[in-house]
Every structure is written in C-alpha cells, then in structure tokens.
Chains A and B, each alone.
Chain A
Amino acid sequence: MAAAGICQRLYELTSKPLPVLEDRIVANLFYENSTRTRSSFELAARKLGASVLNLDIGTSSVGKGESITDTARTLVAMGVHAVVQRHASSGSAHQLAEALTDKVHVINAGDGWNAHPTQALLDLYSMLTVKPDFTGSKVAIVGDITHSRVARSNLWLLKLFGADIHLAGPPTLMPAELASLGVTVHNRLEPAIEGCDFVMALRLQLERQAQGLIPSLGEYRKLYRLDHHRIRLAKPSVKVLHPGPVNRDVEITGALADDPELSLINSQVSNGIAVRMAALYLLMSGRGTLR
C-alpha cells in the first residue's frame, strides 16, 4: 500500500521537478558494474537537486575483501546523506544498513541473488499504469529464478499487491523449495503464461551454459523464449516486461521486446527514474518513510 502511495506521488514529482534535495549528497557505491542502474539513480538524484558522488569500487583499487563497514564509516565521515549500494553478495545492503548510523539512508541497488527493490517498484509501477486494478493479476516470471534478485524482489512486492505469481524455468535454474514462498512453479513456459496479465522475461546470463546449468542456448530458446506466437496463450491485454539489458532472441524475440502494443520495456526504463526519485525523496526529505 505504501508503495502505491509512492507511485502516486512520484507521478506528480516527475511533472514538476523540484530542487528539494539541494543540500543533500547521494553516494552511488557500486561494487559491481551496472551502468544502467547507476545512471538511473544518478539522474533521479540530480532531478531532485542532490549532489551525486559516484564510487565505482568494482573498478577502483578498493576491491573485493574491502570491509563494507569500513567503507560505510568513510561515507559517514564524508557527510553523505544516502548510499545507493550495488554488491555481488546477498545480504550486503542489509549489512551496510546495520553498519551505518540512522542518519544515513541505504538504498539497495541490487545485492547478489537476494534483492533489487527499486527494480521491483518500477516493475509494479509500470504494471499499475496500465492496469490500476492490479489485485488478482496473473504474473509470470520466466527464466533463471535461482540467480535472480529481480525475481525475488518482484515476488515479495507483487504478492503484497495481490498478484497470482507463476514462475517458470528449467529445473536447474529453480531454487530449492520455491513453492514454499507462495508461488506456483512450472518447468514449462506454456502453463505459466496461460491467461497471464503480465509476463516478465529474465535476462539469461550466458555463462550458465558453461556452468552446466543449461545444455545450450538453442534448447533454452526452444523452451523458454517469449515470442509473438507463445504470448497468444496469455490474455489479449497482456504486457511483457524485462529488467534489461535484453539478450535479444535468447529470452525474448527482438520483435516482441520492441512491440509498442505488448512491451513495457521502454517505459520500464523511464519509470525507473521516477521510482528512484520517489525513493530518494521519501527517504531524504524527511516527509515519509519507505519500508
């Protein structure tokens, strides 16, 4: 419910950009490279008038093994007001939040396989814009669920909003006891997307083949790639989402990803900036809390 309010407010915010965080500093702390997410946060912060400090730790001399706590202390000493962290380890945002004082806000920009909360918020927001009566919607998430923080964050958030969640992917890319999280698990694509309101394709990391988790991209395409033919199993009003960057013709055909009638992929990117503005505003202006 809180997130719905947020989405409502950010809608107003995007239309009238305010220098509301003029004296504030947002640090982008990216232990893992992600040009897209980092740029999105940077634009969001700048639109609110905040100063942005980019720390690309993944490429700097401070590498793996650097204590998250030490980095946190440095940021506090610099007078940073919010930290946006991307890290390869699940739980690292949680750890940073525990290490920082209450005065510094932590936004998780992706931690390992665990969570990518602003991605889920922007996905939900994108879905709400086309289907405001979201409760009861059937949503399918397709692909590598095991390694996906996007899938996990969406699962928690969309369940909160009453979605009927179906996950599909090869058994080798589905984590243990997945159904216990309150979702329906499929190994085949077709039953998952049948009658769906929304279908989200996940990016397939190409190294999964070398890890022995899938036999070939060809077989993956045959079984799980979304295309115009398969999407007919879903509702006529179905919309397709993807967290990006898209492996064209692996998890989704280029034609479907680019279809203005069916694809929300472009609006996901612009909505991402709005959602991140909302998150920064609510946290840093002291006018609300995001939890």
Chain B
Amino acid sequence: MSASILIKGARLLDPANSIDQVLDVRIVDGDVTEIGSDLKLNGSGQLLDATDMWLSPAFIDLHTHLRDFAQSDRETLETGTLAAAAGGYATVLAMANTEPPIDNAAILSQLMSKIEEHALIEVLPVACVTKGMAGAELTSMVELSAIGAAAFSDDGMPISNMAVLRRALEYAKLADRLIISHPEDKDLSQGGCIHECHVSTRLGLPGIPAAAESAAIAREIEVVRQTGGRLHFAHVSCARSVDLIRRARADGLSITADATPHHLSLTVDQSRPYDASYKMNPPLRTEADRKALVAALKDGTLDAIATDHAPHTSLDKSRPFDEAPFGVTGLETAFSLALEHVAASGNLSPSDLIALFTSKPASVLALPQPGIRTGTQASLVVLDPKHVWSYDSEKGYSKSVNSPFHGRSLTGKAVLTVCRGEVVYKHGEVLSSRLSKAR
C-alpha cells in the first residue's frame, strides 16, 4: 500500500491504551501517522467516512483450524486467512491437528513457508504437545518454538494421561510457551454427539455429559497446581467448568480460558434436529450454561472469544448426524454474534467487548499489547456495529459452509481490515485478486 487512508469519525476503541473516543486516524504507507480531530485529507489519499463506526486494533483468534495440507478440500491458508480478514482478524492461532499434524521441525518449517507464501494475515502456528497427538511422547518444544510455534496443543485429542500433561507443562516452561487444553474426558464423552439432556433423550442420540468437560478441567487444574506452568482451556462450554476456572484463578494459578461465539449464542434446545451444522465438540449446552459463559467473560474468568473455526466439506457433514465430523466455521460471524449475545445481552461496553478480541487474547499468548498508536504499523479493523446483513455461508470466504448461522440476519460487520500496514479486507470489494497474490 503506497497511498494514504484517512479514517474519519470513528469511535476509536483501544482497550490496552484505555481509549474510547471519536477520533480520526491517518495511515500513510501502512503506518499510523496521525490521530486527532478534524484531520483533513491531503493529496490523493482515500477517505473512509467511519461516522458511527468503531475502529479498533485488528482481532486475534486463539483457535482456528486452517487445515490445508491433506485437508485442503476443507480450507487452505489462503481461504482461511481471507475468511479471518473478512471477520476483522489480523492474527490467528492455527491449530496443529492438521494432516499430517505439526509435531516435528520439518513439517513446521514447511508450514512456515506456506504461511509466508499464502497467508493474507499473521498466522501463528501451534505445534502438538505429543508426537502424532498420541498423548505419550513430548514433541521437541524448544526446537519447535525456535522455528515459530506460538503455543502447544493436542486439540481434539486431549491428553488423557495426567503424567504426560504434567511433563508437558514442566517442559513447556523451557520453551516459555503456553499449553492449550481441549478439556474433555474421552471416556465420559465416548460416542456422544450432542449435549446429554432431554434433547439427546428425545432424539435418540448418544449424549456428551457436561462432566466430560468439567471433570477434565478439575483434574488438569490440579496438575497445574502441582507443577506450575501456563495452561489455557479452549472452548469452555459449561457453567461448572467456569466455576472451577474462577476458583483456580482466585488461587493464583496461571490458567486462562476462552469461549466460542457459538457456545455464547446458541443452546442445545435451539439446534436443528439431526443437522450436522449444529454438531461441534464440545456440544451446544443449556441456556444456563450459555449465560454462565457470558457472565464469565464479563467478570474476567474467561479471557477471550475464540472461534474454533473448524471447516468440513459438505459431503462429510451430510453423513448421518452420529457419523458426521464435529465442528463449525466461525471467523466471519464471530463479531456479529458477540455483539448481539455478549455485548448487548451481557451488558458489556464496546471497549470491554473489543478487549475480548484484542488485548486479552494477546495477554493469553504473552504477545505485545495491540494498539493504534502514532508511529506504529497499522493493524486495525473498522467495524460497523449497525450494519445488518444476511449471512450466506455459500458466499463466504471460507472454503467450507458448515455454519449453523447460515441464512441468519446478523448485525455488525468488519468493513475494513488492515494487517501489518496492508489492507487485507474491504467490505463490498471483490478480493479474488488477493487470492493469487503471493506475499
């Protein structure tokens, strides 16, 4: 980008710097050059009238499945990062359960090159905790961190042996990296495909009890208490889990956690019977659970909203409900859902909502705090919180369409995303030219 952009009249929301004020921001050659009132367009720059819109640091997603490799029929680095950019993200944490999994230096190096070549935004790779995600032998965490692993996780294949988790937490200190847990007791959840309750009973589907999550969380908290180390619980879905995490944090343990937009906006009672677009792991829970998650984001027990964007092909998702894979897409709908179900119904201020997408996930990862400051490279998003749109997953940027929000009317949308000084998404503009562009 060589020209300048003047974003005028936006409500600048920069939680890390405690800014919530209507201000104009000028970007020249990718850098924020000026922040102030009544800035004038000089020369040939672009003007974006952002009156009644919000301007914030670009979003960070702690949980994205970008697939690629052998699963490029579901998503590629290009389509996944474009979907992320369209959702307002400039940074995503890419989960390691790819095919092959990211469990050794060679494959991670290959991923780093792919990211360099194909990603439109910043992709921070996660590497596996154990080789082949088999839950036994640790990966070379120090070497993998040096290559670029931002965190470690066996997401989807939770470590069931607590001795292995203990060693992983201890060894990860050497690499100074976070371990991300997918908290699930596979024995308790075995065979289940929907929250165990009157709905599973009615539909004749094997249930996943809430205890499959909360029991795993309780156990893992005690291992952290023993060993120290940093553990992050991904996609927390039920009230009991929230209570356990709240107590552990009060005890001073280095535990963080996130919740997904779908668990914050849907309940098991609202899922369309036998529609695999509503099948995810953990499953949608009850309204009491959903409310507990919203409250936990407000009181700080949960740190972030993370998408768990999990693309699957329509063919796989069209299999019978019990055979269909778990997971839903989420990058393009996260902000709208959070606006409606967390900010509006949970009574969170815009600044507090934005923190859940920016400063707080940055803290979880121990990244530099994001901000919009003069003299720094621009990574920001302009959001129109009033924009009403109909989400058509077929017309989305993700390669997959497995979203329970397909066809819904949503409010709030990213209109401009800038990543490291470069415009990566602009609402209403055809961006297909970006797809072939090698950076």
Contacts and interface: CB of A to CB of B under 8 A. Distances in A.
B is bound to A: yes
A112 B321 CA distance: 11
Contacts of B319: 65, 67-68
Given A67-B319, A68-B320, A177 B198 contact: yes
Given A64-B323, A91-B321, A92-B320, A176 B204 contact: no
A89 B204 CA distance: 9
B204 A114 contact: yes
A87 B198 contact: no
Interface centre among B200, B203, B274, B318 (most CB of A within 10 A): B274
Nearest to B190: A211
B204 A69 contact: no
A113 interface: yes
A95 B274 contact: yes
B196 A176 contact: yes
A96 B267 CA distance: 26
For the side of the interface on B, what is the size category? Answer: 20 to 34
B321 A90 contact: yes
Interface string A160-198: 000000000000000111101100000000000000000
A113 B193 CA distance: 13
B288 interface: no
B212 to A, nearest CB: 13
A203 interface: no
B204 A149 contact: yes
B202 interface: yes
A175 B207 contact: yes
A115 interface: yes
B198 A90 contact: no
A207 B198 CA distance: 25
B238 to A, nearest CB: 14
Contact of B197 (A90, A94, A111, A177): A177
B71 to A, nearest CB: 17
A175 B207 CA distance: 9
A149 B201 CA distance: 11
A94 B273 contact: yes
A69 B273 contact: no
A67 B318 CA distance: 7
Contacts of B197: 176-177
Contacts of A114: 203-205
B320 A175 contact: no
A90 B203 contact: yes
B34 interface: no
A90 B205 contact: yes
A105 interface: no
A151 B298 CA distance: 44
A27 B198 CA distance: 34
B322 interface: yes
Interface string B43-80: 00000000000000000000000000000000000000
A166 to B, nearest CB: 16
For the side of the interface on A, what is the size category? Answer: 20 to 34
A46 interface: no
Contacts of B206: 113
Contacts, number: 68
Nearest to A67: B318
Contacts of A176: 196-198, 200-201, 207, 209
A68 B276 CA distance: 14
Contacts of B315: 67
Interface centre among B196, B204, B323 (most CB of A within 10 A): B204
Contacts of A95: 274, 320-321
Contacts of B205: 90-91, 112-114
A112 B203 CA distance: 10
A89 B203 CA distance: 11
B202 to A, nearest CB: 7
B404 to A, nearest CB: 16
B202 A91 contact: no
Nearest to B209: A176
Contacts of A92: 320
Contacts of B204: 90, 111-115, 149, 152
A175 B201 contact: yes
Contacts of A149: 204
Given A67-B315, A94-B274, A175-B207, A89 B201 contact: no
A91 B320 CA distance: 7
A181 B204 CA distance: 12
Contacts of A115: 204
Interface centre among A64, A67, A90, A177 (most CB of B within 10 A): A90
Shortest 4 CB-CB distances between A and B: which pairs? Answer: A91-B274, A89-B320, A114-B204, A113-B204
Given A67-B315, A68-B319, A176-B198, 16 more contacts: A64-B323, A67-B319, A69-B318, A89-B320, A89-B321, A89-B322, A94-B273, A111-B204, A113-B206, A114-B203, A115-B204, A152-B202, A175-B200, A177-B198, A180-B198, A180-B201
28 contacts: A67-B319, A68-B318, A68-B319, A68-B320, A69-B318, A87-B320, A89-B322, A89-B323, A90-B204, A91-B205, A91-B273, A91-B274, A92-B320, A111-B204, A113-B204, A113-B205, A113-B206, A114-B205, A149-B204, A152-B202, A175-B207, A176-B197, A176-B200, A176-B207, A177-B198, A177-B201, A180-B201, A181-B198
